[in-house]
Amino acid sequence: LQGRYVYANDAAEKAFRTPRVQLYGRSDDEIFPPETAAQFKENDRRALTNGKSIQTVETLKHEDGIAHHSLVIKFPIASPEGRAIMVGGIAIDITDRLRVERHLAAQYAVTRVLAEAATLDEAAPRVPAPPARGPAGNRFFPVTTSLKP
* Half-sphere exposure (Cβ direction) of 56: Cα atoms closer than 13 Å: 16
- Report residue 74: phi and psi, to 5°: -115, 145
pLDDT of residue 77: 93
State residue 123's pLDDT score.
84
- Predicted local distance difference test score (pLDDT) of residue 55: 96
> Could you state, in chain order, the average pLDDT of each consecutive group of 10 residues for the chain (149 residues)?
88 89 94 93 93 93 86 94 92 91 88 88 82 49 40
Sheet holding 67-78, edge to edge: 54-61, 67-78, 84-93
**pLDDT, position 1:** 64
Q: Write down the pLDDT at residue 149.
A: 42
Dist. CA 90–CA 103, nearest whole Å: 27
